[in-house]
């Protein structure tokens, strides 16, 4: 039986798209569902394009019920992948899926991480700090923002004339290149693929 991935995303879903592409014809793993807390998220359209079911939830369902845990268990999810998902993962999900939830962050953690540090906020902080490099971090998820064990990092140099847009672009290139590959490697390491 194929190993099953659940992707949580709050926005456009470009990383979710790359994961759906990677596992569309995969012999041993598949994206089983996309979950989002944003009914306007473009990731819903992306999932439709791949004929992958979606589930839209609100704060009450996510933080105050076990509905999401039951859904993931019923779908026999092996790995939860956060792709631009902005809420902390509650304890009930963390306990049911130990070392089975990963996230990607657009900086070299532990720098420029924590509450409120996502997307352009991160890139602005990197520019403001006159950092000479930035990159991406793929890490396990725990009860704190961006503090889980680091799985993989990739970096790029920041040039003198780099802007928010160029830094964002460089980072996204690395995300799209490495996230699907690392997800696949993790499934193999977990003896899941």
pLDDT tens per residue across span 84-110 = 999 999 999 999 999 999 999 999 999
pTM of the model: 0.96
Rounded distance, CA 10 to CA 56, Å?
10
On the question of a cis peptide bond just before residue 20, with omega within 30 degrees of 0, the verdict is: no
Residue 189 has pLDDT above 90, yes or no: no
Q: Residue 190: its pLDDT value, please?
A: 77
Residue 192 has pLDDT above 70, yes or no: no
Model confidence over 131-160: pLDDT tens digits? 999 999 999 999 999 999 999 999 999 999
Q: Residue 180: its pLDDT value, please?
A: 98
Nearest to 141 by CA among 88, 184, 68: 88
Cβ atoms of 83 and 106 closer than 8 Å? no
Residue 193 has pLDDT above 50, yes or no: no
Percent of the chain with pLDDT over 70: 98
List domains and CATH numbers for the chain: 3-108+137-153+178-189 (3.40.50.170)
Average pLDDT over all residues of the chain: 96
Tokens representing 127? Answer: 């520019």
Residue 191 has pLDDT above 80, yes or no: no
Rounded distance, CA 191 to CA 168, Å?
34
Model confidence over 50-68: pLDDT tens digits? 999 999 999 999 999 999 9
Nearest to 105 by CA among 4, 15, 11: 15
Q: How confident is the model at residue 1 (pLDDT cuts 50, 70, 90)?
A: confident
Cβ atoms of 191 and 1 closer than 8 Å? no
Residue in 60, 70, 105, 176 annotated catalytic: 105
Residue 164 has pLDDT above 50, yes or no: yes
Rounded distance, CA 79 to CA 51, Å?
19
Three-class secondary structure of residue 2 per DSSP: coil
> Can 105 be counted among the known catalytic residues?
yes
């Amino acid at each position: 039986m194929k190993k099953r991935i659940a992707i949580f995303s709050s926005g456009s879903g470009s990383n979710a798209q790359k994961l759906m592409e990677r596992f569309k014809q995969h012999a041993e793993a598949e994206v089983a569902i996309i979950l989002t807390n944003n009914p306007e998220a473009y990731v819903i359209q992306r999932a439709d394009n791949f004929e992958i079911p979606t589930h839209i939830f609100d704060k009450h369902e996510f933080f105050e019920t076990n509905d999401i845990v039951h859904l993931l268990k019923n779908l026999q999810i092996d790995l939860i992948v956060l792709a631009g998902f902005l809420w902390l993962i509650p304890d009930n999900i963390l306990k049911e899926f130990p070392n089975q939830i990963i996230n990607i962050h657009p900086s070299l953690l532990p720098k420029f991480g924590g509450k409120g540090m996502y997307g352009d906020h991160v890139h602005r902080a990197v520019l403001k700090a006159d950092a000479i490099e930035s990159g991406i971090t793929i890490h396990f998820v725990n009860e704190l923002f961006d503090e889980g064990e680091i799985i993989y990092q990739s970096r790029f140099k920041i040039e003198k004339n780099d802007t928010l847009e160029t830094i964002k672009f460089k980072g996204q290139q690395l995300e799209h290149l490495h996230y699907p590959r690392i997800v696949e490697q993790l499934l193999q390491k977990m003896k899941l693929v």
